[in-house]
Amino acid sequence: MTEDLKNISEESTAGKNGFNRRDIIKGLLGVPVLGVFAYSWLRKHNIEASVRKAIHDEINLTDANPLIGKVVPQDKQIRLGIIGTGGRGRYLLKAAGFLSPEIISTYRDEGAKNNMDKRYSEFLAQPDLNVVVNGVCDIYDVNSEKGRAAAGNISRGYDLTKTGNLPKRYKNYKDLLAASDIDAVIIATPDHWHGPMTIEAARAGKHVYCEKPMTWTVAETYEVVKAVTESGIVFQLGHQNRQTESFFKAREAYEKGFLGKVNLVEVTTNRNTPEGAWVYKIDEEASRNNIDWEQFLGPAPHHDFSLERFFRWRCWWDYSTGLSGDLFTHDYDAMNQILGLGIPHSAVASGGIYFYKDGRTVPDVLQMAFEYPEKELTLLYSASQASEKSRGRLIMGTDAWMAVDNSLDIYADPASIRYKEKIEAGIIDPAIPIYSYNPGKKQVDAITSPTEKYFAGRGLLYTYRNGQRVDPSHLHIKDWLDGIRSNTQPMCNINRGFEEAMTAHMGTIAYRENRKTFWDKEKQMIL
């Protein structure tokens, strides 16, 4: 042991009752046998803790979130319209500050019975974004009314008598986009409508917040970029994990070289419930009489009316982008934010429908490999919808590897050059993180649904801002609205959207056509 470490271990720290470490040690030494072991344990524990702190301080990741401290005046009210008020659409309304009286009252009652349930208090703590919803469009009557009930609850109260006027219900999205009392629109529809609706919204001069993925086909991706760019609207793609606090620190760790040369990135999706595999509940009240099936189909191939396809549309290529567009894009966007990946040079894919023999056409197991020769690294994606084995996101470098989700852990590589001396001296144990960031460690997580736990662990349900737990979708909506008010680009703008779309399409094409795809950087096209 070096003299420095000896000195660290012998430093005294006064306790709450006036006792310091030496007082405690003296007391323990008075107990035969136990005192010797206790002293040894305490001495070793204090050395390890001090060393870990020293290394932690050496890495010194500051709070690199550019949004903290950013102030945009909220005095200009923005008039919203929303297209698609199913589960995700209503969640985005919640993020914007609107919940139906019925749901708020449920949150309040459940919170009163269980102090672990913080949904009510956390929703009420959301800052007012100074927006009003003037239009709601959904082709399912029941969802439309649920959306209107939420959007009309301007007081945030659960008393029906205190709600404002319900917004106008539009049966066709084109009529909503033509409305003069709507400045911006949220698009939360099935994948096959994202591109067409974004294009028409941009041409109508409406700012757009569009759920991921950005597009359903390669061809419409170019049209989306063209429409958004030419119109000058503010576009935000719905990757709310851009707001996850640990990602800012992960980017800083990468940029400061604490990982060494990054050469391999692994991202994964593992879920093992019917809901996790998109086998969603079919509403008993749904029928051909309250669903506009023709409008649902839109650009998709014709198919006879099907409640299964309407509620579980993610299971068919006719409306969906499958695992690549629905779940991989979250992980890709996270890595793009941290590593600045851009569009890969090439992609290969494999997988199949191995478990859910329910008539779906998209795979329930998928592997994709994306090559970045200019960055000298590979991005691997692996997914199963029939196994809940947690695998997370890993960024591997020559000196350290990093696990990134809602928290962040950095481990030294056993063969590291940067940390070699400390590893050989026993100061660093490769099995113990040399840096950890877990802002919610002391807070109780009341999430119970397996699917919700999956999203919560990945920073998609909540993150931390200034020490407080907050909904990242709320932060992402705010980032978009701030961009509208200040005429600046939000975090997941059209350029990031183009990178996301083309990367996902490369993987999808590689799987569906059983071939290797390439990105022609000069021609800006997939080969």
Query: What one-character-per-residue DSSP string does 371-423 give?
Result: EETTTTEEEEEEEESS------EEEEESSEEEEESSSEEEEE-TT-STTHHHH
User: Which tens digits make up the pLDDT trace of 372-418?
Assistant: 999 999 999 999 999 999 898 999 999 999 999 988 999 999 999 99
pLDDT band for position 115 (50/70/90)? Answer: confident
Mean pLDDT value across the chain: 87
Angle, vertex CA 338, rays to CA 334 and CA 344, nearest 5: 75
pLDDT of residue 429: 93
pLDDT of residue 178: 98
Closest CA relative to residue 370, chosen from 396, 393, 344: 344
Does the pLDDT at position 511 exceed 70? yes
pLDDT band for position 25 (50/70/90)? Answer: very low
Closest CA relative to residue 400, chosen from 65, 60, 59, 64: 59
Number of residues that make up the chain: 527
The answer to whether 100 and 151 have CB atoms below 8 angstroms apart is: no
The dihedrals phi and psi of 63, each to the nearest 5 degrees, come to -80, 95
The residues spanned by each domain of the chain are 3-59, 243-465
pLDDT of residue 154: 76
Does the pLDDT at position 22 exceed 50? no
Residue with token string 């009752």: 17
The dihedrals phi and psi of 356, each to the nearest 5 degrees, come to -90, 85
CATH number of 243-465: 3.30.360.10
Of residues 196 and 21, which shows the higher confidence score?
Answer: 196
Q: Are strands 393-397 and 377-384 parallel, antiparallel or unpaired?
A: unpaired
pLDDT of residue 20: 42
Does the pLDDT at position 472 exceed 90? yes
Query: What one-character-per-residue DSSP string does 433-482 give?
Result: -SEEE-TTTTSPP---SHHHHHHHHTTSS-EEETTEEE-HHHHHHHHHHH
The answer to whether 402 and 408 have CB atoms below 8 angstroms apart is: yes
Q: How far apart are CA 129 and CA 401, in angstroms?
A: 39
Does the pLDDT at position 90 exceed 50? yes
Across the range 282-290, mean pLDDT stands at 98
523 burial level (CB within 10 Å; 0-12, 13-18, 19+): exposed
Which residues have C-beta within 8 Å of that of residue 360, sequence separation ≥ 6? 315, 316, 353
Residue with token string 């397996």: 450
Does the pLDDT at position 183 exceed 70? yes
What predicted TM-score, i.e. pTM, was given to this entire model? 0.87
Across the range 76-90, mean pLDDT stands at 97
Instruction: Report which secondary-structure segment, H or E, holds 222.
Output: helix 218-231
User: Which tens digits make up the pLDDT trace of 358-373?
Assistant: 999 999 999 999 999 9
Over pLDDT 90: what percentage of the chain?
A: 71
